[in-house]
Amino acid sequence: MLLAQNYTRNLPMRYPTYQAPFTPRVHISNLPVEILLMIMEFLPVLDLVSSFQVCRLFKHLLSDDLFWRSQYRSASILRPPGPFSGQSTAFLRNALVSSARVAQNWPPHTLSPTPRVGKDFQIFHNFRTFHNFPFSKLLAGRWLIAGDSQLIWCYDLHNPIPRMFYRPHLMANFFQCVSTTNDKGELVVFAVSETQVGNSRRGINIYKVAMDHNGPVITSRILRQDVPDSYPGVSDVTIGPRFLVVVPKGPYFIQTLPIIVDITTFQRYDISLPASLLQRFQ
């Protein structure tokens, strides 16, 4: 007993420890819906897309029609006109996300980047904006086909790194991409170019373009038509569900008739005008 008292006497004095009052932690999923929507209104558009995969609650909240209409109306980025009553929630969400990616990868007043082709070969691109390109076409609302008489580039609006799309043998006096929907409901794309080699050899080329998740790619040439020196040049290219028409310059199609190609069979159709009509314009 005495030994136990001496042992306890030598122990340090123990003071009672302070315990903070218990405060229950509130998980973000337990917040009211109104508070969650107010928080999500401050998130960037691309972060809202990532929030879809957080949980079922966030996916349910971000599927609300009024939320995306409010986001579309108050967004400060360049976007298509809207929101309108005929535009669905999926359309507004996809349009806003695509516009946000374009604004992130291609901010305004920036110079076009210098693309690289291969490992050691670099093409020095003239630093200029897209509106200075003589040839430009936007495909499927995402891929911009733009360039000049020397090179045509494919700019993915979701990716700031472009790639070479078409390179003529010497120079191109005209280049344009056209797209339509065929009888089967499939998207078909063609590229038309008027090339020139030297001062005499000129020709019109029509290419088949394949579309996949990586963008448009020229697969094959379906038509090569040599034209004389008196050919005035290509003015425009129109396409329908079945035919592609290469329209020459000039008010009348008398000396230079348009080129008509069946987009399914790739067969060319020749047009013959009556002799009386030809004599009228001679």
Out of 119-133, 136-150, 195-209, which region has the weakest mean confidence (pLDDT)? 119-133
User: What one-letter code names the amino acid at 59?
Assistant: K
Q: What is the pLDDT of residue 16?
A: 56
* Alpha carbon separation from 148 to 27, 136, 152, 162, 166 (Å, rounded): 57, 9, 6, 15, 10
Is the pLDDT at 180 greater than 60? The verdict is: yes
What is the band of 210 on the pLDDT scale with cuts at 50, 70, 90? very high
Q: What is the pLDDT of residue 131?
A: 46
Give me the residues paired with residue 202 across strands.
Answer: 196, 227
Q: What is the pLDDT of residue 120?
A: 31
Where are the domains positioned within the chain? 28-105, 125-279
CATH architecture, domain 28-105: Up-down Bundle (1.20)
Is the N-terminal amide bond of 83 cis, ω within 30° of 0? yes
Calpha distance 248→268 (Å, rounded): 16
User: What one-letter code names the amino acid at 266?
Assistant: F
Q: Is the dihedral of CA 98, 99, 103, 106 positive or negative?
A: positive
Relative to beta strand 215-227, strand 234-239 is: unpaired
Calpha distance 282→278 (Å, rounded): 6
Q: What is the pLDDT of residue 251?
A: 64
Mean pLDDT calculated for residue range 56-78: 87
Q: What mean pLDDT value characterizes the chain?
A: 77
Q: What letter does residue 29 receive in the DSSP assignment?
A: G
Contact between 45 and 96 (Cβ < 8 Å): yes
Model pLDDT for residues 21-36, shown as the tens digit of each residue: 656 676 777 888 888 8
Alpha helices in the chain (DSSP H): 2-9, 33-40, 45-51, 56-61, 65-74, 89-105, 275-280
- Exposure letters 65-84 (e unless 16+ CB within 10 A, then b): eebbbebbeeeeeebeeebe
Q: What is the pLDDT of residue 279?
A: 56
For every residue of 139-199, which 3-state class applies, written as one string? ECCCEEEEECCCCEEEEECCCCCCEEEECCCCEEEEEEEEEEECCCCCEEEEEEEEEEECC
Q: What is the pLDDT of residue 13?
A: 53
- Residue 192: which of 204, 209, 179 has the closest Cα? 204
Is the pLDDT at 163 greater than 90? The verdict is: no
